Amino acid sequence: MNLPEARSSAADAQQWVLGAPLASTVDRSVPAGVTTSDLAQYCLMLGDDALLLAHRLTEWGLRTPELEESAALGGIALDLLAQARTLLHRAGEVEGAGRDEDRLAYFRNAEEFRNVRLVEIDCGPGPGGDFPATIARLLLFSTWRRAVFERLVHSRDAVLATLAARSLPSLAAHRDHAAQWVIRFGDPAGGTAPRMTAGLQRVWPLTGELFVPHPVEARLADAGCGVDPAVVRDEVSAALDEVFSVARLPRPNPAEFADFARPGGRDGAHTGGLVFVLADLQHLVRAGA
C-alpha cells in the first residue's frame, strides 16, 4: 500500500471510530412524507442531548472516586460524542443550510439548542452537584435513551435506524454502569445512601420532560421516522424501580416523573446552566474563528 492509500485508509478508519462516515452507503434520502425541517430538528434534539451530556461527563476529568472510573466516564462521553457527530451531521445535511456538525456544535447560541434540560444542569464536579448526582443523571438518561433507541431502530430514516441499532449495546452498558454505582452507593453499610438519595432528588424534577413529546417528535412518530417518548414512560419507570429495589433506595416523588408542561429544552427554553456549559464548550473554537 502506498502512502496516499495508507492515509486514506487511516482517515476512513478514524471516521468509523468517531461516527458514520460522511460518504456512508446508508440511504441518506429524506423519507417520503417527512419535511426536512422536522427531520433536521429531530436530529438536533437527539444530537444535542448526546453532545451536552458528553461535555458534562468530561468535566470530571480525573476527579472521580477511582482512576478506573475516570476512564469509564471518558469512554461513555466518547460514545455519546460519536452519536452527536452522526446526528448533527444528519441535521446539517437535511437542513441544507451549509452547516456541518462542527458549525452546529460550536456556533449556535443557547436558545438554538434543543436538548432536554436534564443533560445541561451542573451535577458536579462543580458546586451544583457531586459524583452521585452525576451517576443519578446517567442512570436516568441512559435508561430513557436506550428505550427510545430500541424503537428508533425501526425508523423509516435509514440514518437514524442504523445509528440506533449501532448504539444499543453502548447505551445498555452506560445504563448498567450507572446502575451498579447506584446499587453500590445504596449499600447501608457504606454510609453513602443519603448522598445517592440526594443525587436522585437533584435530577428527578427534570425527568418529566423526557416523556412529553414536542410537536416535531409527535409528527415524526406518526410518520414512522421518530419515537413518541411518552410510549417509553412505563418501561423506563419499571427499569428504574428495579434498580431502586436492589439498591434499597426510596423512589423519589412519583408525581414529578410525569409533571411537565412545555416550553422546555426542546423548545429552546433552558436552565441558566446551558449558557455556562456552552461558554466552556465553544470558547476556544469561537476565539479562533
CATH number at residue 181: 1.20.1260.10
60 within some domain: yes
Is the pLDDT assigned to residue 81 strictly greater than 80?
A: yes
The per-residue pLDDT for 26 is: 86
DSSP secondary structure code for residue 116 in this structure: -
Please identify which residue in the block is written with the cell numbers 449556535. Answer: 108
pLDDT at 22 over 80: no
DSSP secondary structure of 8-31: HHHHHHHHHHHSS-TT-SS--SPP
How many helices and strands, by DSSP H and E, does the chain display? 10, 0
pLDDT band at 97 (very low <50, low <70, confident <90, very high): confident
Q: Which three cell numbers stand for residue 177?
A: 454502569
Total domains present in the chain = 1
19: cell is 461516527
- Is 274 inside a domain boundary? yes
Residues spanned by the domain of 67: 32-259+269-287
Q: For residue 93, is it within any domain? A: yes
The rounded distance, in Å, linking the Cα atoms of 43 and 216 is: 10
Kindly state the percentage of the chain with pLDDT values over 70.
91
Average pLDDT, the chain: 91
Report how far residue 44's alpha carbon sits from residue 50's, in angstroms, rounded to the nearest whole number.
10
- Does 19 map to a domain? no
Q: What is the pLDDT of residue 14?
A: 41
Q: Which residues of 230-263 are buried (b: 16+ CB within 10 A; e: fewer)?
A: eebbebbbebbeebbeebebeebeeeebeebeee
Instruction: Summarize pLDDT for 153-162 with one digit per residue, the tens.
Output: 999 999 999 9
Q: Which residue has the cell 429544552?
A: 265
Give the model confidence (pLDDT) of 218-242 as tens digits: 999 999 999 999 999 999 999 999 9
Is the distance from CB of 153 to CB of 225 less than 8 angstroms?
no
**Torsion sign over Cα 16, 21, 23, 28:** positive
- In 3-state terms, what secondary structure has residue 247? helix
**30 conformational bin, left if phi > 0, alpha if psi -120 to 50, beta if neither:** beta
86 inside domain? yes
User: Is residue 178 in a domain?
Assistant: yes
In 57-77, which positions are buried (b, 16+ CB within 10 angstroms) versus exposed (e)? bbbbeeebeeeebeebbbebb
pLDDT at 15: 44
CA distances in angstroms from 185 to 87, 131, 195, listed in the order given: 34, 10, 8
Separation in Å, CA 61 to CA 56, 160, 276: 10, 31, 18
Question: What value does the mean pLDDT take over residues 28-36?
Answer: 94
In a domain, 16, yes or no: no
**Inter-residue contact 118 to 256 (CB < 8 Å):** no
Higher pLDDT, residue 4 or 38: 38
Q: Are 30 and 38 in contact (CB under 8 A)?
A: no
CA angle 123, 128, 133 (to 5 degrees): 30
Q: What is the mean pLDDT of residues 52-73?
A: 95
> Considering the domain boundaries, does residue 8 fall inside one?
no
- Collect all residues with Cβ–Cβ distance below 8 Å to 79 and sequence separation of at least 6: 167, 170, 171, 174
pLDDT at 137 over 80: yes
pLDDT at 285 over 80: yes
Query: Residue 24 has what pLDDT?
Result: 58
- Mean pLDDT, rounded, for 149-174: 98
Give the model's confidence band at 289: pLDDT under 50 very low, under 70 low, under 90 confident, else very high.
low
Average pLDDT for 13-28 = 56
